[in-house]
């Protein structure tokens, strides 16, 4: 049976299977009915699930089957390319060693260029790394970590240093540490914070939502998770665990309010960022402004459920922050005008 060559490479035929010019296996039959096509697609998905990314659907399929085949082959081709790139990176175990080696982040940015990039480090080796489409402009490097090694990496390489939500005094201490380390190297990174948010028209309604989330916690699941998190090597995770160490099983979310409007309840059932801004729209905006005054310029926010909380925040807190910003600018302009008049007088 004659095969029609594709733009992405010709095909060759064997008795039991076909391969395109790139060596990918083409499953048969080439022109099936819908029922046969479904079986072929399921077989291809199973092959992919088993880790064989060379599988392809027949290029000669037409109509609906042809569209499915083209989409599947494009996606699996990109996945195969990604798998090859990941396999080129060698990783040695050891938290401090891995963290120190991240000082090479900016050199590894070479992999985002148009030419294959090689790197030979103590813990990582990269051989001929490439990307399908070099990014333009290059993305900023966001980096977080609380250990001394991580602070040094951030000082050398991070465009934005990220911290999980902590009470302002602790956050200020961490920001100051990173800022001083970066200043010694002649750098001035920006700062960001990762938080969750529960905001409502009334503060009581926001805390009621926090209580609702708390009521669904399975104590056995929570205990198992906390044991696992306690074994983590992460200094930042250890700091998060201390924020809800005094939790009492009272059902009152305020037991986990570690600073006015800052709630540590999220950390009971997940690792990583475990604190949330909780309160009325004005109260949440107040706390964001307090963090901004410390030097936090970027906030990465989420909620449970995410879409609903995004609407609550976007339709209520963001307009309030914009109004405050505009008011501050107007007041600043007025103060500047008054100072000018006094100087002239």
pLDDT digit string (tens) for 311-322?
Answer: 999 999 999 999
Q: Across-strand partners of 223?
A: none
Residues 152 and 103 in one domain: no
Residues 195 and 244 in one domain: yes
Q: Across-strand partners of 162?
A: 144, 192
Confirm whether 222 is domain-assigned.
yes
Confirm whether 136 is domain-assigned.
no
Contacts of 283 (CB under 8 A, 6+ apart): 203, 261
Cα angle 248, 254, 259; round to 5: 110
The confidence score (pLDDT) of residue 228 equals 66
Residues 116 and 230 in one domain: no
Residues 312 and 273 in one domain: yes
Q: Can you tell me which residue has the tokens 């399908």?
A: 132
Helix (H), strand (E), coil (C) string for the chain? CCCCCECCECEEECCCCEEECCCCEECCCCCCCHHHHHHHHHHHHHHHHCCCCCEECCCCCCHHHHHHHHHHHHHHHHHHHHHHHHHCCEECCCHHHHHHHHHHHHHHHHHHCCCCEEEECCCEEEEEECCCCCCCCCCCCEEECCCHHHHHHHHHHCCEEEEECCCHHHHHHHHHHHHHHHHCCCCCCEEEEEEEEEEECCHHHHHHHHHHHHHCCCHHHHHHHHHHHHCCCCHHHHHHHHHCCCCCCCCCHHHHEEECCEECHHHHCCCCCCCEEEEEHHHHHHHHHHHHHHCEEEEEEECCCHHHHHHHHHHHHHHHHHHHHHHHHHHHHHHHHHHHHHHHC
Residues 148 and 207 in one domain: yes
Structural domains in the chain (count): 3
Confirm whether 305 is domain-assigned.
yes
Residues 173 and 192 in one domain: yes
Nearest Cα neighbor of 102 from 136, 66, 145, 65 is 145
- Domain residue limits at 238: 142-341
Contacts of 180 (CB under 8 A, 6+ apart): none
The confidence score (pLDDT) of residue 308 equals 94
Domain boundary among 54, 87, 120: 87
The confidence score (pLDDT) of residue 249 equals 58
The confidence score (pLDDT) of residue 92 equals 40
Residues 324 and 253 in one domain: yes
Name the stretches of the chain with pLDDT < 70.
1-35, 51, 81-108, 121-124, 219, 222-251, 270-272, 330, 332-345
Residues 172 and 250 in one domain: yes
Rg (CA), the chain: 27
The confidence score (pLDDT) of residue 20 equals 45
Rounded-to-integer distance, Cα 345 and Cα 341, Å? 6
Q: Can you tell me which residue has the tokens 């095909």?
A: 11
The confidence score (pLDDT) of residue 325 equals 87
Residues 169 and 313 in one domain: yes
The confidence score (pLDDT) of residue 233 equals 57
Rounded-to-integer distance, Cα 147 and Cα 175, Å? 13
Residues 60 and 149 in one domain: no
Query: What are the pLDDT digits (tens) for 155-213?
Result: 988 999 999 888 999 999 999 999 999 999 999 999 999 999 999 999 999 999 998 88
Residues 322 and 243 in one domain: yes
Q: How many residues does the chain have?
A: 345
The confidence score (pLDDT) of residue 316 equals 97
Residues 124 and 146 in one domain: no
């Amino acid at each position: 049976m004659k095969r029609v060559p594709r733009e992405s490479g010709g095909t060759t035929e064997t008795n039991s299977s076909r391969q395109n010019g790139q060596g990918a296996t083409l499953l048969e039959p080439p022109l099936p009915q819908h029922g046969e096509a479904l079986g072929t697609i399921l077989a291809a998905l199973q092959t992919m699930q088993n880790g064989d990314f060379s599988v392809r659907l027949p290029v000669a399929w037409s109509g609906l089957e042809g569209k499915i085949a083209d989409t599947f082959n494009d996606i699996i081709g990109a996945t195969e390319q990604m798998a090859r790139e990941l396999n080129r990176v060698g990783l040695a175990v050891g938290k401090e060693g891995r963290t120190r080696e991240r000082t090479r982040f900016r050199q590894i940015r070479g992999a985002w260029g148009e030419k294959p990039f090689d790197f030979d480090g103590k813990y990582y080796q990269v051989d001929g790394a490439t990307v399908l489409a070099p990014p333009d402009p290059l993305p900023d490097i966001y980096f977080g970590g609380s250990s001394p090694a991580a602070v040094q990496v951030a000082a050398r390489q991070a465009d934005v240093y990220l911290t999980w939500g902590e009470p302002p005094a602790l956050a200020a201490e961490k920001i100051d540490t990173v800022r001083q380390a970066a200043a010694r190297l002649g750098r001035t990174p920006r700062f960001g914070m990762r938080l969750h948010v529960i905001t409502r028209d009334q503060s009581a309604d926001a805390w009621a939502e926090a209580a609702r989330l708390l009521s669904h916690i399975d104590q056995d699941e929570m205990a198992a998770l906390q044991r696992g998190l306690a074994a983590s090597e992460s200094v930042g995770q250890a700091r998060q665990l201390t924020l809800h160490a005094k939790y009492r099983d009272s059902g009152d979310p305020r037991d986990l309010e570690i600073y006015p409007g800052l709630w540590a309840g999220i950390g009971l059932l997940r690792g990583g960022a475990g604190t949330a801004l909780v309160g009325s729209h004005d109260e949440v905006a107040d706390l964001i402004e307090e963090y901004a005054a410390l030097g936090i310029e970027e906030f990465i926010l989420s909620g449970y459920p995410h879409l609903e909380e995004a609407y609550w925040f976007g339709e209520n807190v963001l307009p309030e922050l914009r109004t405050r910003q505009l008011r501050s600018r107007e007041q600043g302009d007025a103060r500047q005008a008054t100072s000018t008049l006094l100087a002239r007088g």
